[in-house]
Amino acid sequence: MNPAKEFKAYTASQQKRINAALRSFLPRASCRPKTLHESMRYSVSAGGKRLRPILCLAAAEACGSNDNLAMPAACAVEFVHTYSLIHDDLPCMDDDDLRRGKPTNHKVYGEAVAVLAGDALLTLAFEVISQSKPAGKYTAAEMVQELALTAGSKRLVGGQVMDMEGEGAEPSARQLRFIHESKTAALLTCSMRLGAMAAGANPGKIDALSQFGQATGLAFQIIDDILDITQSSEKLGKSAGKDLATEKATYPSTHGLEKSRREAARLTEQAITALKPLGSKASRLREIGSYLLDRDY
- The answer to the question of residue 218 lying near ligand GRG (CB under 6 A) is no
Distance CA 198, CA 214 (A): 19
Alpha-carbon span 215 to 189, nearest angstrom: 9
184 lies in the site for ligand GRG, by CB under 6 A: yes
Cβ partners under 8 Å of residue 240, min gap 6:
227, 228, 229, 231, 232, 233
Residue 97 contacts ligand GRG per CB under 6 A: no
43-51, 134-142, 260-268, 271-279 -> range binding ligand GRG (CB under 6 A): 43-51
Residue 103 pairs with which residues in a beta bridge? 98
Q: Pick from 44, 48, 105, 197 the residue near ligand GRG by CB under 6 A.
A: 48
Residue closest to ligand GRG (Cβ): 48
Longest Cα–Cα distance in the chain:
52
Using rule CB under 6 A, residue 156 touches ligand GRG: yes
Q: How far is the CB of 237 from ligand GRG (least distance, A)?
A: 7
Give the sign of the dihedral formed by CA 22, CA 25, CA 29, CA 35. Answer: negative
49/177 with CB nearer ligand GRG: 49
Asked, as a colleague might, if the bond just before 203 is cis with ω within 30 of 0, I would say no
Q: Which of 18, 44, 51, 218 binds ligand GRG (CB under 6 A)?
A: 51
Contacts of residue 172, defined as CB under 8 A and 6 or more positions apart, other chains included, come to none
Distance CA 180, CA 163 (A): 9
Stretch that binds ligand GRG, among 45-53, 59-67, 205-213, 277-285 (CB under 6 A): 45-53
Classify residue 182 by its DSSP letter: I
| Out of 37, 41, 100, 106, the residue judged to bind ligand GRG by CB under 6 A | 100
- The interface region with ligand GRG, picked from 101-109, 137-145, 155-163, 192-200 by CB under 6 A, is 155-163
Instruction: Report the DSSP beta bridge partners of residue 98.
Output: 103
Give least dist CB 280 to ligand GRG, A: 27
Determine if 104 is a binding residue for ligand GRG (CB under 6 A): no
Q: Does residue 88 touch ligand GRG according to CB under 6 A?
A: yes
**Residue 76, amino acid:** A
Is residue 216 within 8 A of residue 292, CB to CB? The reply is yes
Q: Output the smallest distance, CB 281 to ligand GRG, in A.
A: 24
293 within 8 A of 268, measured Cβ to Cβ? yes
Looking at the Cβ atoms of 132 and 160, the one nearer to ligand GRG is 160
Closest separation in Å from C-beta 96 to ligand GRG:
9
Residues that bind ligand GRG (CB under 6 A): 48-49, 51, 81, 84-85, 87-88, 100, 156-157, 159-160, 183-184, 221, 224
